[in-house]
């Protein structure tokens, strides 16, 4: 099943069901007004939405219309919680080697995770407004899941069954703030502005064999200013989403609609390229003694697309431009 949120005059948008080929959509407001409401009542809404999805794919849905991804908000324009991990250890090890930093204790056995802002997620075609190029603007290609309510101290095997939807993410980062914020021990704040999401959220079964071991085993193709940047595969994720959810829920329940991110998709094979500029810069520093790829400037554009074996893009496409944020007004 594939779901999206179209923009309207509300904070949470309106829920639609999208066809498997992403060409058509139909309103789901009779089932739930928005995706967050559906997730909060998932046991009732999921089978009804699935029936509507089947009717849409069969050409039997009433009032179906052409799906325009440019009109889509993030699947969840705002969420109760956003927890992002660093589940691809290759990425962390490259950073440690490039900058000669001590390994994070227990990183191989305990997931690293921070809690980011979840009140203002961006749609896949929206510009990314930021205040200053000097902050070290970067993109990060990731996968994520959206959960039903998860109980405190939930074990991984139960956490797996609480996954409602899978998403594709651009976790925008401001690298200039990262080192200081990590040294404080309090985690990221300024370094992590609003993240962006591909237009369509999918149920795990929609990914077929690409959903295995609680991982999205698909390449994430990234173009930067029209040039290939990388196509790392989610299969090399060291901690599955079941482990990440269990880690996040160790001492707290997770509300329905909580989003859990994988962190930057990263592969050991250098030929796969990278999913963020910081990783490419680290590789340049290791191999050449100097980082030469600059961080993003206003007007730069990034495109991200996870691609299935048949060439389709299950989540749609993220295609965004960095722009200068307007000056605040009183």
Number of H helices, E strands in the chain: 7, 20
**Residue 101 has what pLDDT?**
80
**C-alpha of 148 from chain center:** 17
User: 3-class SS at 255?
Assistant: coil
Domain ranges of the chain: 2-71, 82-324
Res. 329 pLDDT band, cuts 50 70 90:
confident
Res. 182 pLDDT band, cuts 50 70 90:
confident
Res. 105 pLDDT band, cuts 50 70 90:
confident
Note the pLDDT tens digit of each residue in 205-220. Answer: 999 999 999 999 999 9
Q: Which residues sit opposite 113 in a β-bridge?
A: 85
Res. 119 pLDDT band, cuts 50 70 90:
very high
Q: Is the pLDDT at 107 greater than 90, yes or no?
A: no
Note the pLDDT tens digit of each residue in 121-137. Answer: 999 999 999 999 999 99
pTM of the model: 0.97
**Residue 49 has what pLDDT?**
98
Task: Report whether 198 contacts 220 (CB < 8 A).
Answer: no
**Residue 136 has what pLDDT?**
98
DSSP class of 325: P
* pLDDT averaged over every residue in the chain: 96
**Residue 32 has what pLDDT?**
98
Res. 186 pLDDT band, cuts 50 70 90:
confident
Note the pLDDT tens digit of each residue in 235-292. Answer: 999 999 999 999 999 999 999 999 999 999 999 999 999 999 999 999 999 999 999 9
pLDDT cut 90: percent of the chain above it = 91
Instruction: Give the residue-averaged pLDDT of 153-158.
Output: 98
User: Under the phi-then-psi rule, with left for phi > 0, alpha for psi from -120 to 50, and beta for the rest, what region is 316?
Assistant: left
Res. 104 pLDDT band, cuts 50 70 90:
confident
**Residue 34 has what pLDDT?**
98
Superfamily of domain 82-324: Fumarylacetoacetase-like, C-terminal domain (3.90.850.10)
**C-alpha of 199 from chain center:** 11
Q: Is the pLDDT at 293 greater than 90, yes or no?
A: yes
Res. 51 pLDDT band, cuts 50 70 90:
very high
Task: Report whether 174 contacts 134 (CB < 8 A).
Answer: no
Res. 183 pLDDT band, cuts 50 70 90:
confident
Residue-wise burial string across 297-306, b where 16 or more C-beta atoms lie within 10 A, e elsewhere: ebebbbbbbb
**Residue 195 has what pLDDT?**
98
User: 3-class SS at 137?
Assistant: strand
């Amino acid at each position: 099943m594939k779901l999206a949120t179209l923009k309207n005059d509300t904070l949470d948008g309106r829920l639609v069901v999208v066809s498997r080929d992403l060409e058509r959509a139909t309103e789901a407001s009779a089932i739930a007004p928005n995706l967050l409401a559906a997730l909060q009542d998932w046991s009732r809404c999921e089978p009804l939405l699935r029936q509507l999805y089947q009717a849409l794919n069969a050409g039997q849905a009433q009032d179906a219309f052409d799906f325009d991804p440019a009109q889509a908000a993030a699947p969840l324009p705002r969420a109760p919680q956003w927890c992002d991990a660093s589940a691809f250890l290759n990425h962390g090890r490259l950073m440690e080697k490039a900058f000669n930093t001590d390994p994070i204790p227990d990183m191989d056995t305990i997931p690293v995770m921070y809690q980011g802002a979840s009140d203002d997620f961006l749609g896949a075609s929206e510009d990314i407004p930021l205040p200053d190029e000097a902050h070290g603007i970067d993109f990060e290609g990731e996968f994520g899941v959206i959960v039903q309510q998860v109980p405190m101290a939930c074990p991984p095997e139960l956490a797996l069954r609480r996954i409602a939807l899978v998403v594709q993410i651009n976790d925008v980062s401001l690298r200039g703030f990262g080192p200081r914020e990590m040294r404080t021990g309090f985690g990221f704040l300024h370094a992590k502005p609003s993240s962006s999401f591909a237009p369509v959220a999918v149920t795990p079964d929609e990914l077929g064999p690409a959903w295995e071991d609680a991982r999205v085993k698909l390449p994430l193709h990234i173009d930067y200013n029209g040039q290939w940047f990388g196509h790392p595969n989610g299969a090399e994720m060291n901690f599955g989403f079941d482990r990440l959810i269990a880690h996040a829920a160790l001492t707290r329940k997770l509300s329905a609609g909580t989003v859990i991110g994988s962190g930057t998709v990263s592969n050991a094979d250098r030929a796969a390229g990278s999913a963020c500029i910081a990783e490419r810069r680290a590789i340049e520093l290791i191999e050449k003694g100097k980082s030469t790829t600059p961080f993003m400037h206003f007007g730069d554009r990034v495109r991200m697309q996870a691609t299935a074996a048949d060439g389709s893009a299950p989540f749609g496409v993220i295609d965004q431009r960095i722009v200068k944020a307007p000056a605040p007004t009183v």
